Amino acid sequence: MAEFVVGGAQMGPNQKADSRKMIVARMLALMEEAAGRGVELVVYPELALTTFFPRWYMENEAEVDAFFETEMPGPETAPLFERARELRMAISFGYAEKTPEGRHFNTSILTDRAGNIVGKYRKIHLPGHSEYDTERAFQHLEKRYFEPGDLGFPVWRNEGVIMGMAICNDRRWPETYRCLGLQGVELVMLGYNTPSVNSQMSAEGLKERLFHSELSMQAGAYQNSTYVVGIAKAGVEDGHPLMGGSIIVDPDGFVVARAESEEDELIVASCDFAKCAFGKSTIFDFARHRRIEHYQRITEQAGVIVEV
Ligand code: CDV
């Protein structure tokens, strides 16, 4: 069981006019700061290389594809891998992935400390809608631009720790953490882009949205006795505010590091993965306490069925 220093590299906004090179330069600056603080694994947000483009309705395929990476690493992202290798730092970040077959996913990757990609996750819970919605204050077209992930919720033993990934909206679903928890996960890494306001309910403000984000990640950590690192892309992007609130949560559900700004900001926590064992062997010893004979509905039924 390993103990090591985990960093969360919250990013401020990316603008549409920003080149990948400019954005990667900011990610490298955060990486250098992380190295100076002894970080051995750094987590960046969802869609770290671009704006959160699903807020815009687009019909032109070439315009959409400009937000996607066809190779990882590619020429613009290679410096991230090279510097991480030199610094012996594992990294995880999200990006829009276009496969050789032309499929589109909202993806995160994980490397080891030698800069090799050891894990890939494709976002499963895609929020929003697929056609232009006149009822919303702004669009959330993830269902238009991405397919649901096809890789399930895998884990990897990386640098001695059982690691898994999730992306943004996944963090609100207990199923995400439980699928990872059932594989013994000790570190869940997730990036997010969460608008500071609800496009369908103007009364829900920043305070409430930050609360729901933390509530979900703290519950996921506690109920599966795992560290959770949740990292935002924040600030006003393309004229639209994204909330910050990046946190690192320990296996007891307590926040051990928290970002204060909506800018590029590094948070750091020394994680003792031995701490995951207590919850996993006591109150959340799944093998002893789960009652799967009563859980069929969870996989057989998606929506609510009222029978009374
Ligand atoms: N990128 C996201 O998945 N954002 C959602 C928004 C729609 C609320 C989230 O769950 O944060």
Average pLDDT for consecutive 10-residue bins of the chain (308 residues)? 89 98 98 98 98 97 98 98 98 98 98 98 97 91 98 97 98 98 98 91 87 98 98 97 98 98 98 98 98 97 97
The answer to whether 23 touches 47, Cβ cutoff 8 Å, is no
pLDDT on residue 23: 98
Judge: domain 3-300, CATH 3.40.1160.10. no
pLDDT on residue 230: 99
pLDDT on residue 31: 98
How far is the centre of ligand 1, averaged over its atoms, from the C-alpha of 3 (Å)?
A: 31
Which residue carries 């397919």 as its tokens? 147
How far is the centre of ligand 1, averaged over its atoms, from the C-alpha of 200 (Å)?
A: 13
How far is the centre of ligand 1, averaged over its atoms, from the C-alpha of 259 (Å)?
A: 19
- Residues with beta carbon inside 6 Å of ligand 1? 46, 127, 140, 168-169, 172, 192-194
Rounded to an integer, what distance in angstroms lies between the CA atom of residue 240 and that of residue 251? 34
pLDDT on residue 197: 87
Going by CA atoms, what residue is nearest to atom 3 of ligand 1?
169
pLDDT on residue 2: 74
Rounded to an integer, what distance in angstroms lies between the CA atom of residue 230 and that of residue 258? 10
pLDDT on residue 198: 83
Instruction: Tell me which H or E stretch contains 210.
Output: helix 206-224
Going by CA atoms, what residue is nearest to atom 10 of ligand 1?
169
Atom of ligand 1 nearest to the CA of 193: 1
Pocket test for ligand 1, best of 144, 168, 190 (most atoms within 8 A of CB): 168
pLDDT on residue 144: 98
Q: Which amino acid is it at 221?
A: A
Helices (H), 37-160: 61-65, 78-87, 142-145
pLDDT on residue 38: 98
Atom of ligand 1 nearest to the CA of 128: 7
* Active centre residues (catalytic): 46, 123, 168
